[in-house]
Each structure stands twice: as structure tokens, then as C-alpha cells.
Amino acid sequence: MATLTAVRGLAAAAIVAVAAGADARISGYKENNDMDMIALSNKNGSATVSLRGAHIRSYRPAGMDHDLLFNPKVTSFDGTMHNHGGIPVCWPWFGRNGEPGSKPHGFARYWMFEVRRRESTDGCDTLVLGLKPSDETRKLWPYEFDMEYTIRLGETLDLSLRTRNTDTRPMKITEGLHPYWLVSDRRQVRVDGLDGCPYCFADVSQVADKTWKGTFVPDGHFDHVFTLGSHEQTITDAGWNRKVVMRGSGYSKIVIWTPDPFPAGKYENLDPSDLLKFVCVEPATLFRPDAYTLAPGEEHVLSVTIDARR
């Protein structure tokens, strides 16, 4: 196994590390002088990750005709834009569950992560990114913490978000991942694994006072929050003859979000023509009453496995 030393600042416009092995590679580079990127590539597929927000930009398993993740044409990773697309990290709160006046989905998505470890073997690449508090994060969330995000590209894409409380006080988190699944046409998509789940509309109520029956078809505007019975959901795209199975642990909800027709600029980098190109199916924990409480020294892990099939 080839292990690469952690690099905390990638050199501009240059590949800084290539793992040994003919079919396994992890490399770093700059994209449009805008962000530090990590590329993972092996016989099982490829992925790209921005160090800004530990944001997974793309994931394409070997043999698939399309990327699994939607990305708009316009994307800026200078820390100012709420980027739609890929898999953003929502931490230490999900949605609008932070303090009054705080940005939705937490501050981690705007911060630069450090590279803690990179490893490559035959058909498996592992990238470990980390985030620690600073004077700036303490202004937004006054706690000491260690957050580590492990991205493993093998036969599946395995994601693990670990939070450790290094403070002297208990802390609460309502974290999540926010995948934008690229689809042929979301009117041809169905989501299974939600039958019998209590749910509510996130923008209307925080009380799961309804029960979903059968398959979910995201053919309109949805902002639904499901309380899970099973931690396995399947996203089937009839147009591309593709299934994405998402399974995991350490979260209590699945959020499904799709917009209504919208004008340019409403969702920052989304274009009105993107309306039917994605479906967000998001593993998360919300609302505030459901937050995880971590005592000093305790940790919590949210893990997700993404398995693409035909």
C-alpha cells in the first residue's frame, strides 16, 4: 500500500501527489484559480473533491454513462456562494437549524479543510479531510471540536463524517449530506425505501403528522422530511436505466428537495434550465429537538454508502 503524507496546502496549478500503482491515483490541482481540488481515480471509477467545504464535485463509477452527481455550469468556490450541486457537507447544523440569522446548512461548507491522509491500493482510494475550530468559526459556533470526513472510492463510494466534542461543554449538532443526484428527467425517477415513513413539509411544519405510502415520484416541488424506518433508499432513473442505492447510519431523516420553476438568480448558481436535471435525496438529522447531543470527549459518526447499479 502506498500512503501519501498529508498536504495542508496544495501548490497552485500543479499535481502534487500521485499514488503508486498503475490503476490507482490521488492527485491535487487548482481549478480556474478558484479552489484546491483532489482527484481520485482507480479501476472502480473516479471522483473529485474540493477542499473548500470538503465538497464532492463528481462521482462516476466505472462503466456508467453519466456522472452520478449534478453540477451547474456556474460554480464558485471562493467561500461566498451557496453552491448547489455535488455533495455539500451540512455541518454543524442542517437547513435553518442553526442560531437565528445564521447561514443555512452550517459553516463547514464555506471553510477550507486540511488533508489528513491519502491512501491508494489496488482499486481503492481513501481521502481523509479534517476541520478544527478557529477564531472565525468560534464567532459562528462557540465550541471546540474535531471534525473528520473520510471519502473512500472503491466498488462503492463510502462517506463517513465524524464529529468529536473537544470542548468542556455538551454540544448539539444537526448535520447531514446534501447530494444532488444527476438524472435524465426527474419525472422519470422514483425513490423507494420510504413506504410507511412519517413525514412533514420542512417549509411548513416540523411535526411528522403524515405517513408516506408506496414509491415516491419527485415530479413537482418537494421539501419533504421523512423520519426513517429503514436506512436504505433506492433512486431509480428509468431514462438512464440506473439505480443508486444509498444506505448508512448515524442520521434520523431523509430529506427530498426539488424546486418549482424558478427565475434566474433565485438559487444563486442554479439556472432555470436545471429544473428537471436533479433530485436531492439527503441523509440528515433535523430538527433541533432531534439534534445529537455530544458530551465532552464523545463523538458521533454519520456514514453513507453509495452503490450504483444497472
**N- to C-terminal Cα distance for the chain?**
31
Q: Mean pLDDT over residues 244-253, rounded?
A: 98
| DSSP bridge pairs for 114 | 130
Please provide the size of the chain in residues.
Answer: 310
Q: Identify the pLDDT of residue 21.
A: 34
Confidence of residue 15 (pLDDT cuts 50, 70, 90): very low
- pLDDT tens for each residue of 83-140: 789 999 999 999 989 888 888 999 999 999 999 999 998 899 999 999 999 999 999 9
pLDDT above 90: residue 249: yes
User: Residue 122 sits in which domain range?
Assistant: 2-309
Residue 6 has pLDDT above 50, yes or no: no
**CATH number assigned to the domain comprising residue 153:** 2.70.98.10
Domain count, the chain: 1
DSSP 190-203: EEES-TT-EEEETT
Residue 206, pLDDT score: 85
What pLDDT is attached to residue 251?
97
Residue 35: per-residue pLDDT: 65
pLDDT of residue 109: 93
pLDDT beyond 50 at 4: no
Q: Which helix (H) or strand (E) holds 89?
A: strand 89-90
Average the pLDDT over each of 2-11, 125-134, 234-243 and give the range with the smallest value: 2-11
- 94 preceded by a cis bond (ω within 30 of 0): no
Q: Kindly state the DSSP code that residue 216 receives in the 8-state scheme.
A: B
pLDDT digits (tens, 9 = 90+) for 280-290: 999 999 999 99
Of 74-83, 102-111, 174-183, the range with the lowest mean pLDDT is 74-83
Kindly give the residue spans of alpha helices, DSSP state H, lying in 59-117. Answer: none
pLDDT at residue 12 in the model: 31
**CA atoms within a 13 Å half-sphere pointing along the CA-CB vector of 25:** 15
Cis peptide before 263 (omega within 30 of 0): no
Phi, psi of 274 (to 5 degrees): -80, -5
Q: Could you give phi then psi for residue 290, rounded to 5 degrees?
A: -100, 10
Q: How confident is the model at residue 2 (pLDDT cuts 50, 70, 90)?
A: very low
C-alpha cell at 123: 482499486
Question: Does residue 253 contact residue 228 with C-beta atoms inside 8 Å?
Answer: yes
Q: How far apart are CA 63 and CA 122, in angstroms?
A: 18
> From CA 291, how far away is CA 284, in angstroms rounded?
10
Nearest 5°: phi and psi at 289? Answer: -60, -20
